[in-house]
Amino acid sequence: MERVIDVRNGRNLTMLSDFYELTMGNGYFENGVDETIAYFDMYFRKIPDEGGFAVMAGVDQLIEYLENLTFTKEDIEFLRSKNTFSEGFLSYLENFKFECDVWAVPEGTPVFPNEPLVTVRGPIIQAQFVETMVLLTVNHQTLIATKANRIVRAAAGRDVLEFGSRRAQGYDGAIYGTRAAIVGGATSSSNTLAEIMFNVPAVGTMAHSWVQLFDSEYEAFRKWAEIYPDKCSLLVDTYNVLKSGIPNAIKVFNEYVLPTGNRPKSIRIDSGDITYLTKQSRRMLDEAGFEDVKIIVSNSLDEYIIRDVLAQGAPIDVFGVGERLITARSEPVFGGVYKLVAVERDGKITPKIKVSENQEKITTPHFKKIYRVFSNKSGLAVADLLCEHDEVIDESQPLTIFDPTYTWKRRTFKEYTLRELQERIFEKGVLVYKSPTVLEIRAYSKKEIENLWPEALRLEYPHRYYVDLSQKLWDTRQNLLIEQSQMYAEDKY
């Protein structure tokens, strides 16, 4: 049975941590480097589904986790039983007080590979320890928000309902997956708890079992209409959509909804050929005078199927999207990583790099900030620029940026505006940020995505958005790379 500790209304997920965070913590402590200040960046390397951008999400849950970070007596007892940790370290954990600075890109912001979505600065034991949960939280919600936004874009203005709880990967997969789906633009959800937690309207009508329970589909529809005359929505594919479902729905709409002075709301189709069935259903409904009755479809939908059936002219008003949204089925992993980028001793910041046999695993060192560059003419975002933390850019001067790999590729902006992307979330362990509501985040996200070039919004083969390094940061990285590389140029072993 699950152990739950209710701390300040939240769950204490302190021990949901990779064990190596603790063996390293003990190591830092025993080496006396525990008060060394470390800088970690959380960033990702690749946009899921080869898309044009990801949608940042999960900051509010990250805050909740960090606010509830406490080792209980039972945790300490458990750790002691592992015969791995010193008493000094256990005592440190027992008195643990979160003291880090945290910066994050606000939820809903379109984000790109290799820029720090979250930066944590603090005593290395602490900044290291939170790695697992920073990644778990932001990876999951960013994955789902990104996928939801693809589906919402494919739906081209039609409502997208999140219907996936039953196929989610665990309870939080459903709960925070719903939240992230809303961040990404979904209209509402079937998840009742999501309305309680996030104030996102929960919706739902009937399953096939309702229809099966009664002796006939007609009777099942009639019974429904009698109870819900003002919100009558019928599932029409239990037996046969065109020969039974739609005719029975029309009959019941006429006999039991109209006489109450209401209009029926919708019909839902959950199987069969969507384009064919919706076209025929629309025609039948229209001929019966129900032009205003909406057609909802569900059944393993995703952005590609939605795009296809809309291209065929399927008259669909609302898409109910389940498993392929809530699990981001086409690419169910958001590969965010959390890497040490600098160390501070006596106020001096030393940038750190991780080289790798895999080129794309080399890190961008140093304590950084991200600027989003907007063209004054179009108002659109044209590039992101990573700088060292203390760089100052004079916006009255032209700004030249260049590709960090193909450095001869350059662009110069004359009329531009910079916006710093990260916001301060914690200051020495104290929360200094107030999360917007989920619906506010959705509205912000919509606006921010509209400020991207349309070329970045394509579902397939979008134009690559530029994330460049300042000259100063590029030099720092280059020097560290050369230094590391020279260590092995001469084969000294």
Among 43, 92, 103, 224, contact with a second copy (rule: CB under 8 A):
224
CB neighbour class for 83 (10 Å; exposed up to 12, middle 13-18, buried from 19):
exposed
Q: Radius of gyration (Cα) for the chain, nearest Å? A: 27
Which parts of 349-408 interact with a second copy (CB under 8 A)? Answer: 352-358, 361
Which parts of 234-263 interact with a second copy (CB under 8 A)? Answer: 237-241, 243-244, 247
Which parts of 270-309 interact with a second copy (CB under 8 A)? Answer: 271-273, 277
Cα–Cα dist 184/147, whole Å: 8
Cβ atoms of 209 and 182 closer than 8 Å: no
Please report how close the Cβ of residue 427 comes to a second copy at its closest, in angstroms. 20
Q: Which is nearer to a second copy, 140 or 369 (CB)?
A: 140
The answer to whether 168 contacts a second copy (rule: CB under 8 A) is yes
In one-letter notation, the amino acid at residue 98 is F
Cα–Cα dist 64/31, whole Å: 31
Q: Which is nearer to a second copy, 19 or 419 (CB)?
A: 19
Among 50, 78, 91, 289, contact with a second copy (rule: CB under 8 A):
78
For residue 117 the two structure tokens come to 């979505």
Please report how close the Cβ of residue 281 comes to a second copy at its closest, in angstroms. 13
Which parts of 37-56 interact with a second copy (CB under 8 A)? Answer: 38, 40
First to last CA, the chain: 53
Cβ atoms of 421 and 109 closer than 8 Å: yes
Please report how close the Cβ of residue 342 comes to a second copy at its closest, in angstroms. 10
Please report how close the Cβ of residue 75 comes to a second copy at its closest, in angstroms. 8
Residue 397 CA, distance from chain mean position: 36
Q: Which is nearer to a second copy, 103 or 176 (CB)?
A: 176
Which parts of 86-125 interact with a second copy (CB under 8 A)? Answer: 124
Cα–Cα dist 7/404, whole Å: 45
Among 207, 430, 443, 482, contact with a second copy (rule: CB under 8 A):
207
Cβ atoms of 146 and 325 closer than 8 Å: no
Residue 219: how many other CB atoms lie within 10 Å:
14
Cα–Cα dist 111/107, whole Å: 10
Cβ atoms of 404 and 469 closer than 8 Å: yes
The answer to whether 223 contacts a second copy (rule: CB under 8 A) is yes
Q: Which residues pair with 469 in a beta bridge?
A: 386
Please report how close the Cβ of residue 407 comes to a second copy at its closest, in angstroms. 24
Among 46, 70, 90, 173, contact with a second copy (rule: CB under 8 A):
173
Please report how close the Cβ of residue 404 comes to a second copy at its closest, in angstroms. 20
The answer to whether 318 contacts a second copy (rule: CB under 8 A) is no
Q: Which is nearer to a second copy, 126 or 413 (CB)?
A: 126
Please report how close the Cβ of residue 216 comes to a second copy at its closest, in angstroms. 9
Cβ atoms of 493 and 83 closer than 8 Å: no
Residues sharing a CB contact under 8 Å with residue 47, sequence separation 6 or more, in sequence order: 53, 54, 112, 113, 146
For residue 105 the two structure tokens come to 């890109």
Among 208, 263, 411, 446, contact with a second copy (rule: CB under 8 A):
208
Q: Which is nearer to a second copy, 6 or 291 (CB)?
A: 6
Q: Which is nearer to a second copy, 49 or 75 (CB)?
A: 75
Q: Interacting stretch for a second copy, rule CB under 8 A, among 104-112, 135-143, 148-156, 377-385?
A: 135-143
Residues sharing a CB contact under 8 Å with residue 427, sequence separation 6 or more, in sequence order: 101
Among 135, 252, 456, 469, contact with a second copy (rule: CB under 8 A):
135
Cα–Cα dist 482/423, whole Å: 33
Q: Which is nearer to a second copy, 471 or 484 (CB)?
A: 484
Among 145, 186, 340, 349, contact with a second copy (rule: CB under 8 A):
340
Please report how close the Cβ of residue 331 comes to a second copy at its closest, in angstroms. 8
Please report how close the Cβ of residue 219 comes to a second copy at its closest, in angstroms. 10
> How many binding residues for a second copy (CB under 8 A)?
122
The answer to whether 203 contacts a second copy (rule: CB under 8 A) is yes
Among 113, 335, 429, 436, contact with a second copy (rule: CB under 8 A):
335
Residue 64 CA, distance from chain mean position: 16
39 φ/ψ angles, rounded to the nearest 5 degrees: -120, 125
Q: Interacting stretch for a second copy, rule CB under 8 A, among 110-118, 257-265, 325-333, 425-433?
A: 325-333
The answer to whether 481 contacts a second copy (rule: CB under 8 A) is no
Pairing of strands 6-7, 10-11: antiparallel
Length of the chain: 493
For residue 140 the two structure tokens come to 């999951």
Among 114, 205, 266, 298, contact with a second copy (rule: CB under 8 A):
205
CB neighbour class for 180 (10 Å; exposed up to 12, middle 13-18, buried from 19):
buried
Among 139, 364, 422, 476, contact with a second copy (rule: CB under 8 A):
139
Among 47, 56, 136, 257, contact with a second copy (rule: CB under 8 A):
136
Please report how close the Cβ of residue 318 comes to a second copy at its closest, in angstroms. 14
Q: What is the DSSP letter of 98?
A: -
Among 191, 275, 298, 364, contact with a second copy (rule: CB under 8 A):
191
